[in-house]
Chains A and B, each alone.
Chain A
Amino acid sequence: MANKDFVVRFAGEGGGGLVTSAELLAQVTAQVGYHVKTYVTFPSQIMGGPTFAQARISTAPVLSYGDELDVLVAFDREAYNTHQSEVRDGGVIIYNSEDFQLEEDGKSFGMRIDELAKSSGNARAANMVILGAIANLVNMPEHYLPEFVTKRFTRGRPGDEEIIKGNILALALGREEAKKSGFSLGEMEVPQPPEGEQIMIKGNDAISIGAIAAGLDTFIGYPISPATTILVYMERNLTGPGKFVYQASSEIESITSIVGAGFAGKKAMTSTAGPGFSLMSEGIGLAWMAEIPAVIVNVQRGGPATGLPTKVEQSDLLTAIHPAHGDVSVPVIAVGTVEECFYGGALALNWAERYQGPVILLSDHALSEQAQNIPIPDVNKVVDERRKTYQGQNGYERYAGAELSPMPIPGGPGAYVANGSEHDGMGDTTHLASRHVEMTERRFGKLKLLEDDNYERENTDSPIAIMTWGGSKGSTREAYDRMAEQGQQVGWYYTMQLNPLPPKLLEELKKKELVLVPELNYLGQFSSLLRAKGVKAESITQYTGTPFKVKDLITMITDKIQTHEKDLVKV
């Protein structure tokens, strides 16, 4: 039987080479119609340190990064020691025999990678040597790679031809080595190219484009892993008339300046991660209090404090909903796939305009760095929702009443004071108890404007359901699908809109005997929120800094279901 799916991991000392190898492999296979997803993890340093980059290639849409490796490319002994146990039975390890030697073990072969690259005439073609070897292992048609290389390096520069020639020779040298080794992973099934035009994009770029499509005017941010690439994307692209992008001097400046921009009538955004998000706390509270639209993207990493800057965790949900002191419940959208990054980026901006206040968009490190093929988004379908602005006479009471009211914009009519102290209709400071009650209820009441029925529901008759959130969506969905194939029927619910939750979704969840919530944090943050709302939720947690493996999820979900069923019998 032909293979439908294979996973290749490149591991060694950090630097661009490993990531480039995984991305090249993803590119070449995506071009001929496979679905791909990459995953990268590295230490928080400029160069070096143990890194790995992985590509999963499949004939069906890829949901998770892949539990087991079909091919491991180990550039040094440490990489081999760390990763070799994850190679599946029948998988192959290619190791750099210039760095270390292994005994014959029936699954590994060494290549003198750099030496082979040098002999191709292009010392920088180590990637190509490896790709050539991998192509041979999976019986990739021989012309794919040379065609890809020719296209990629035909850039109209002198020397293009030389580089192409060297790279193609390097591919052939790698191919030859793999052939000599005698290993083979069988045929890859011929892909059925996905319908419609595809792009290969990483989560942070997708968030940026989604935001720009929804009419983003102003972006001000401060570099921090793993959110920096959003700032970088904006610096390059948010430069048209009326647009403003800037690198701030701190996250405190980022948040306060985008609140200033929101006050001045702009659709404004910043991006950050854990430590920066903590610094933004007071500014987010002000946007809530003074009713000013602003979007804060929090690309989650391991925390607290400096935590794990380059690892994945979903531990900022509670702080996202309650980022500031006092009575606040900030709207939160959590994206779970690269495609959702695009739509979530747009929705967050529109939500902020609709209810006139701050919105948190939660992503995570794995999504930020992962490249995936997705259908090219139709940017014309993205709505550019704008707040209601005040157009009447001066003397307007901007904060009067229990409902959302049109917002005056500086330069126009209706001058008022946007006030972070408790205030009356004009925006003047007050200490009246009745006013604090009225204004608190006004601010919470506006959340209703964000309630809708956007959620996924499947197999809804089952008394047991799975409801994950954010970046754990892919692996949880793969676990759900595999369990369904094996006849284990449970319900599936999912939404990006974690606060406020779609009311009908909550009603459905409340009727379940058990709702299982896989999430990457110690506390079981989302499940605790669901329990507080009356859902019998139980968490499935992991806090390793890495994403869930599908097989682990299946085991944990099955265990929970069995325990639940035993408990039922006891009753």
Chain B
Amino acid sequence: MTNITSEEIIETDYAIREHRSLWIDAWQRLISSKTALLGMFIVTVFVVSSVGAHFFWEYEPKKDLDYSLKLKPPTLVANEEVPSVHLFGTDKLGRDIFRRVVHGGWNSLRVGIVAVGISLILGGTIGLISGFYENMNMTSMELITLFGVTGFSLGLLSAWIAGQPIQAFLLAGLGVVAAAFPEFQKDKPTRMLIFAAAGGILLAVPALSVSKTTALICGLYGVLSGMLISRALDGNFFSSTMMRFMDIILSFPGYLLAIAIVAFLGPGLEKGMIAIGIVGIPVYARLTRSAVLSVIQKEYILAAQSVGEGHGRILFHHLMPNILSPVIVQTTMGLAAAILSAAALGFLGLGAIPPEPEWGAMLGDSYRYLASGAWWAVLFPGIAIMLSVLGFNLLGDGLRDALDPKLRT
């Protein structure tokens, strides 16, 4: 062991691999997986065909109608009965299904991206902030904001009851005062009493101009709000409030909630995007929060804190890059789920407004003709949904293996 020959040194040099960044490393792992490559291929075909069709293959759904070609089976060459070629056959209005499937991809892609965007941005922010402040003491500025916003939200109810917007601002002011003097009578009943009284007076006095009973109710409400504000609210308070809220959204089955939201907003592709996006918020919020919780105790965060870096900088420079991989994986898988949900909404007649081509809506249009043997009108849009979803799922699976080699089984 002690005698190392020169050859051995050269050999060890060869063993040291060239330096590669984390992302290039992940990329190498990704393209070395056959299933991930297949997923990437499907996704690419799907994206290129739908974007290409949208911009370079003209299609006017409103004018596409030919009863002479109603429900014709797929044809590969033109014949007497069907003078044009229809690779996937035609539907109940004589429209070429191949054309509509290709154009439908644009709509599905849009729904997927916008819906996931909504869930990711809202859910991700909620999760990031919740996870961060659960483990981080708030600075005085942040506490003032938290107390102010809490006071304002609490004040809204009483402001509505009395019809006086000023009440919300008064309670927000009380919150700011409470945050500015955290040491005042700390942990003593007097603090609670003082703030409860202040809350009661602040809300009851303006309400007197409406009526005595209004003032009474507002005053009682003010006392309760004051008691809450007097307590030492912190990141945990914010986080648990948010997560409880997410739990409530999660306790509804996804489809039903999406249907209810669309019923509220009215049908349409854009409404569908919003509905699917809202339903997905808790998923991203929980994922981001747990990802933050798993890294926030790491030494580099502590180090960043101890050299005096601000919360914003820690969040964006140290935390975000390190929780990116699960979020990327979830986003890819989320695209698949969003396409599926959009198809389901379309199938129930709550997505794209006809005659706009959309896979789910095409299925919903045609499934009644199944009994008369028109299998092609149902088969091809369904295969399109399945393949695109499969593509994103395969890619997501591959990304998970590539980005997190520890999890690799």
Please determine whether chains A and B interact with each other in the same assembly: no
